[in-house]
Each structure stands twice: as structure tokens, then as C-alpha cells.
Amino acid sequence: DADVTQTPRNRITKTGKRIMLECSQTKGHDRMYWYRQDPGLGLRLIYYSFDVKDINKGEISDGYSVSRQAQAKFSLSLESAIPNQTALYFCATSDGRQGSNQPQHFGDGTRLSIL
Amino acid sequence: AQSVTQLGSHVSVSEGALVLLRCNYSSSVPPYLFWYVQYPNQGLQLLLKYTTGATLVKGINGFEAEFKKSETSFHLTKPSAHMSDAAEYFCAVSDQGDSSYKLIFGSGTRLLVRP
């Protein structure tokens, strides 16, 4: 089983709909991150969480919200989806207790298309 | 703010040829440095990382990278390309003094391997 699992893997929806992307991990890591990937732009950070009670905005948080339901679960919501939110979304985790030199571990991504 | 530049959005090499993917960072304080690889329909997988110590870092699949402080560079190399190396490669940095442990990604380089 994958250490970082994202659901769904693919989603097509319409403008204005509310969408939730889910991420769960079995690595026991405290830190979790949501990124979006667009061609030619690399990955950009949307939100990150140090633990259940600590949520922080990233570089591009407008139009998104998150919830850390448990240490192992971190969900991303688009309250009212718009076409320019069409992208590939990644969840990642890291062990913050080991310091900032630890790599992040990624899920396989959710491909989201908004029509 | 920290930034990462990857020269060349696409690099094409023949099978068996040297692979060189370039990465430069902007910080005056050496950050932690990472290379990730992304195969089609998959998440990012860590190739190697530099934190401290030896400046030549060896990673998986025969890749290595050298940290050069004077050039603010962390270029990725492999002596002999295989068809299976075709993928997208991302350089990323993490500031040592940033308690968020955020990764800043380059825009990526797609490696094409010709038979």
C-alpha cells in the first residue's frame, strides 16, 4: 500500500461546484502539504500543516481551504471551483521532528479538470 | 525570496550519453537541496539530497549531483542515460532557517532519451 494516498485520482467537475480532495498517510509524519502543479511552473505550495491545530497558508492559498482532521489526514477544498484551478494536485508529508533537511514524500496526485 | 532556476524545460540525449540537468538557487545562505523525479502519472520521488558534508551526493538509479557554493548550483548528472530515465526532474530547496520546512521548486526539466 502507498504511504501517501490521494483520492480521487481524477476528477472532472463544473464551474461553481464544491470539491474536496483527500490525503491520508501511514508514515507517521507530523507535517503535511498541498501543492498544485501546472506545466512550466513546477509545484507551488497551497497550504501546509504542522499538526492538527496548526494550519498555514502557502504561496497560492486564495480560493482554497484545508482541514487537518487527524495527524494522518489532510483534505483540500475548493469552495467554488473555477477553470483556472484545473491542475494536478499533490499531497506531501515530512517528518518535522527530524529537521528541515528531511525530504518530503508525495502521493500520486489528483488530476482535477474544471469545465 | 528564495528562488530556483532550472535551465532548459526540455533536454534530449541519446541512450548511453551523459545526462546533465542544471539547477541554480538564489539564496546567499546555502539551503538544503533536493532533486526529485516524476514519472508519468506518478508523484515525485526523491533522487538525492544535499544537507551538509560531502558536496558530491550520490542518489538512486546512478544519478549524482554536486553542490557548488561559489556558483550557487546543484546540477544533476548521470554518466550514461537509459531509456527508463525519461521523466521530469525537479530541483527543490529548503531554507535552513525557515521553520516551515517549505520546499521551493524549480519549474522542472523534462528529459527525453533517444534510442
CA distances from B15 to A2, A29, B22 (A): 31, 39, 19
Residues A89 and A60: beta-carbon distance below 8 Å: no
Q: Average per-residue pLDDT in chain A?
A: 93
What are the φ/ψ torsions at residue B54 (nearest 5 degrees)? -55, 130
Question: What confidence tens digit (pLDDT) does each residue in B95-110 have?
Answer: 877 777 788 999 999 9
Cβ–Cβ gap A107/B43 under 8 Å? yes
How much of chain A, in percent, has pLDDT values that exceed 90? 83
Cβ–Cβ gap A100/B9 under 8 Å? no
B107 to chain A, any CB pair closer than 8 A? The answer is yes
Question: What confidence tens digit (pLDDT) does each residue in A63-112 have?
Answer: 999 999 999 999 999 999 999 999 999 999 998 887 777 889 999 999 99
| C-alpha–C-alpha distance, residues A84 and A27, integer Å | 32
Q: Is the pLDDT of residue B115 over 70?
A: yes
Question: Torsion-angle region of residue B78: left (phi > 0), alpha (psi -120 to 50) or beta?
Answer: beta
Q: Which residues contact B28 (CB under 8 A, 6 or more apart)?
A: none
Report the pLDDT value the prediction gives residue B38, as an integer from 0 to 100. Answer: 95
Would you place residue B41 in the very low, low, confident or very high pLDDT band (cuts 50, 70, 90)? Answer: confident
Interface of B with A in 49-88 (CB under 8 A): 49, 51-52
| C-alpha–C-alpha distance, residues A63 and B17, integer Å | 45
Neighboring chain B residues of A43 at a CB cutoff of 8 Å:
44, 90, 103, 105
Report the pLDDT value the prediction gives residue B109, as an integer from 0 to 100. Answer: 97
Cβ–Cβ gap B44/A100 under 8 Å? no
Cβ–Cβ gap B98/A100 under 8 Å? yes
